[in-house]
Chains A and B, each alone.
Chain A
Amino acid sequence: MKVLVAVKRVVDYNVKVRVKADNSGVDLANVKMSMNPFCEIAVEEAVRLKEKGIATEIIVVSIGPSTAQEQLRTALALGADRAILVESAEDLTSLAVAKLLKAVVDKEQPQLVILGKQAIDSDNNQTGQMLAALSCYGQGTFASKVEVSGDSVAVTREIDGGAQTVSLKLPAIVTTDLRLNEPRYASLPNIMKAKKKPLEVLTPDALGVSTASTNKTVKVEAPAARSAGIKVKSVAELVEKLKNEAKVI
């Protein structure tokens, strides 16, 4: 079974981002970039499926600037077989990304596509669902467990009140939640080997996809700052403040 994994290059999750002074966006100059944490979990799940003998080939795809090749090489070092970069310097919306991924899915015909549930920059949580709609495939979002058997996949999903299990016909789309697995680290020999694995570069034009958007970001602001609080000395003082000053209990 062929498995396609989508990965995104995002600002590292430990970075405290700053909004640009002109409110045009977030300042990403000279900031550490990494693979989106949910995408790491997606790569790990694909590699585990290969280790179990279920997946035969893992193709990793990223859509973004040429620097996203770093994240693709990371995925190759973790166990993906080959990579595809759809190069676009623009900031694409989830729908545009889903359309580009659909073109890659049509080309590669994977049985399973694994994505992260959301990217930690845009926090959209849309691309997997949109790709599923465009491909007319079933979707197993927020997955905490994935079991492939025959021509279907059982996905246990994290939902608001607990967990839900659905069964999807293959081919299908899965988006990963945090507790699906614990991603491994790339070893130095594997990082060296990854440099020799194939990486194909495509463009939206070559795939025949329009990335026009119905959304426009007007401005980006810093959130309202909380006014500085105080430190209390004792539980008694805390209770007194909550009762008489904040009046919340």
Chain B
Amino acid sequence: MPFSAQPPASGEPYVLTASLDNARHLSSILRAVHFQDHATCFATANGLRVTVEDAKCIQANAFIQAEIFQEYAVQEESVTFRINLSVLLDCLTIFGTSSLPGTSTALRMCYRGYGYPLMLFLEEGGVVTVCKINTQEPDQLLDFDFCSTKVVNKIILQSEGLREAFAELDMTSEVLQITMSPDKPYFRLSTFGNAGSAHLDYPRDSDLMETFHCNQTQTNRYKISLLKPSTKALALSCKVSIRTDAQGFLSLQYMIRNEDGQICFVEYYCCPDEDITEAEM
């Protein structure tokens, strides 16, 4: 085997090293935020965060905790780099996306530091793939400053309930209007498309409703095109938390359980569309 194919031994000067027995745990969660080519990776001792943004209006974060990895080490307080997410996903799934039961792709990831490429070593059935993905200058990321004290309304739903709803949403509508209220209709999704308006109501005592904390009636609109990418995360998730703050910013947190039963999170932040007039309410 040529020297380049040897995974580096630990103790070499890498600021980030991580190993996974099953690369799919990483690739499936990254696919949930893959709506733009580029992503910013942010690694700390707690784990890895991958952030994707679009049009300064939406931000998606995938969190992969350190515990998910079999080996995980960060030599500095934090390590940040920008990377082409499409390329990273192609590399992670080089041996195919649907692996047979009993076979999995092992992964070792190394990053030497600023200016160096991200190295991936993948192995399946004795076949080794080495990838060198060039890293880029990190972007200035949006700060949605969504802390729990500012949250006005919060709902936790079983994802299956929302999956059906999103599959049936009228995509000819430009916006999705979300109403959260301590009174009826409690939680309402509305669209205004070519064929007319549609409202979808979830009563607060629904079996799908895990938590219902609404303090105030809020009606906000969000560009449906911006929310569409989040359906990828919705499809994988088991639970979703929907929160809004006083300014109408939306936070969607998806809890994703991987094949080994470990929990990961994907989070979407979206800013509201322009104010709505009284008549439309």
Q: Do A and B bind each other?
A: no
Q: Using a CB–CB distance below 8 Å, which chain A residues touch chain B?
A: none
